[in-house]
Amino acid sequence: MIEGTCLCGAVGWSFDGLPESATACNCTACRRYGTLWAYDYEGEAIRVFGPTKAYVRGRSLEFHFCPECGCVAFWRGRGLDEQGRRRIAVNLRLTEPGPIANVVIDHFDGLGSFDDLPRDGRCIKDMWF
């Protein structure tokens, strides 16, 4: 399990196991936030804690921040899927880099094509120094 917290420690998350990959997205929100996302479903592999303030983007997505220090902790889908689950992604930049150093980075073109881009072989350790 990996865990992440905001700067002040009021908001955080846990991810059971290790994510297979991290997503770097270039959409107008994610590139401004500088996030690396790991996905699953709320209450399954991902659990969140602490009071947050949400920025609701469109009809389908909420970005959750710590109201004290401002860190982006996670995004949450606004609706449920066919199985009654809610999609969620945590910001891997809120955890320590060591345990996730070899997690592969996937690139998603959220600005233009809305497609996954080919892997370039980079891992999180290549983004953090």
| Total count of domains within the chain | 1
Question: pLDDT, tens digit, for every residue of 52-77?
Answer: 999 998 888 999 999 999 999 999 99
pTM for this prediction: 0.92
First to last CA, the chain: 23
Sorting pLDDT into bands at 50, 70 and 90, what band is 127?
confident
As a whole number of angstroms, the distance between CA 57 and CA 118 comes to: 27
Question: Concatenated DSSP letters for 91-114?
Answer: EGGGS-HHHHTTPEEEEEETTTT-
CB 106 within 8 A of CB 19: no
Place 45 in a pLDDT band, splitting at 50, 70 and 90.
Answer: very high
SS3 content of the chain, % helix, strand, coil (to 5): 10, 40, 45
Q: 34: domain CATH number?
A: 2.170.150.70
Contact between 106 and 119 under an 8 Å Cβ cutoff? The reply is: yes
CA distance 2 to 80: 25
Expressed as residue numbers, the domain containing 117 is 2-127
In sequence order, the 6+-apart residues with CB closer than 8 A to the CB of 45 are 15, 16, 17
